[in-house]
Structure 1
Amino acid sequence: MADEFAVRVAVRSYEVDANGHVNHAVYHQYGEHARMEHLRVAGCSPVRLNARGWGVILLETHARFLSELLLGEQVEVSSRVAFGTGKTFRIEHVLRRVPENVSENGAAPDARVAAEISCRMGLLDMTARRLVADPAARLAEVATEPALLGLGSG
């Protein structure tokens, strides 16, 4: 769909904990990377938002850890933005292991969901230090690709 976005990251050695899998806090960093890239590609980079005196802020985050990620694996982090009627909006992420080639025995590649992250976001007026009303309309004013944010055609 037009409003879905995804980035890939590789699990690096310094992200792995003593148990041999990605540290829980790193999953949140992967989500942050996907959110910022999603907004940037849609035309809502921090530079463009700051020019209007706005900044996107994280108000709440929740993660469900479903499957471990290991050193060297590739992870696809998808994101989707959902607006309601208030001053906040949601960004939902799915972190999925990128499957390697099909095995010699023809088994399906492992594309398990590793985590789901749900975030409540706001658009902050940097001068008033208050949330901006109708963040969907404000982001649509700035976006060069509003469809990536689920805000109609680009």
Structure 2
Amino acid sequence: MTDHEPFRIRIKVRHYELDSLGHLNHAVYHSYGEVARLEALAAAGDEKLREARLAPVLLESRIVYRRELRSGDEVDVTCEVAFGEGKAFRMSSRIIKLDGTLSAEIECTVGLMDLDRRKLVPDPRGHFERAQVDLQVLSAG
């Protein structure tokens, strides 16, 4: 964990994203997490990774639902990265209502793929650093 706020993006729940019970469809929570991941990577300068023919790929996603979301709710979706050993790293998101209520937590396992070889590369953090991706934006600094 770092001493600064994680990346966040605000999203408004749309009526067409609701399920038959009138709350946000389960799959849309995952979509909100994906929006936060893509926006965080873009803000950190991931185009430099693409120039190096590398791209993050989602390997696993797990969500814990805490509170329902309904049409018109606005939420902040956070995104933080944690690197460890090996080829995979973690990207986590929290979906938080504007009143501070935690609606969901998403944990993703991600790898960095060599787009030519179609294989994961070792040391993803090192590749991020060499591509001059701003790890502070990703809360991994």
- Partner letter of residue 81 of structure 2? V
**Selected match of 1:8 from 10, 18, 33:** 10
**Selected match of 1:122 from 92, 103, 111:** 111
TM-score normalised according to structure 2 size = 0.92
What is the alpha-carbon distance in structure 1 between the residues aligned to residue 67 and residue 78 of structure 2?
A: 16
What is the alpha-carbon distance in structure 1 between the residues aligned to residue 13 and residue 132 of structure 2?
A: 31
Structure 1 residue ranges, 4+ long, deviating more than 4 angstroms after superposition: none
SS of 1:117's equivalent? Answer: strand
Does 1:89 find its partner at 2:89?
yes
* Unaligned runs of at least 5 residues, structure 2: none
| 1:53 CA displacement | 0.9
Summarize the Cα distance change of 1:150–1:66 in structure 2 as closer, same or farther, 3 Å threshold. Answer: closer
SS of 1:146's equivalent? Answer: coil
Alignment-derived partner of residue 23 in structure 1: 25
SS of 1:25's equivalent? Answer: helix
Alpha carbons 2:112, 2:120 under 8 Å: kept? yes
| 1:145 CA displacement | 2.3
Alignment-derived partner of residue 51 in structure 1: 51
TM-score normalised according to structure 1 size = 0.85
- Cα-Cα RMSD: 1.4
Alpha carbons 2:75, 2:97 under 8 Å: kept? yes
Structure with greater Cα Rg: 1
SS of 1:26's equivalent? Answer: helix
* Unaligned runs of at least 5 residues, structure 1: 100-110
How big is each residue's C-alpha offset from its partner over 1:40-77, in whole Å with a ceiling of 9 and x where there is no partner? 111114xx322211111000000001100000010110
Task: Name the % identity.
Answer: 40
What is the alpha-carbon distance in structure 2 between the residues aligned to residue 18 and residue 27 of structure 1?
A: 15
Summarize the Cα distance change of 1:79–1:124 in structure 2 as closer, same or farther, 3 Å threshold. Answer: same
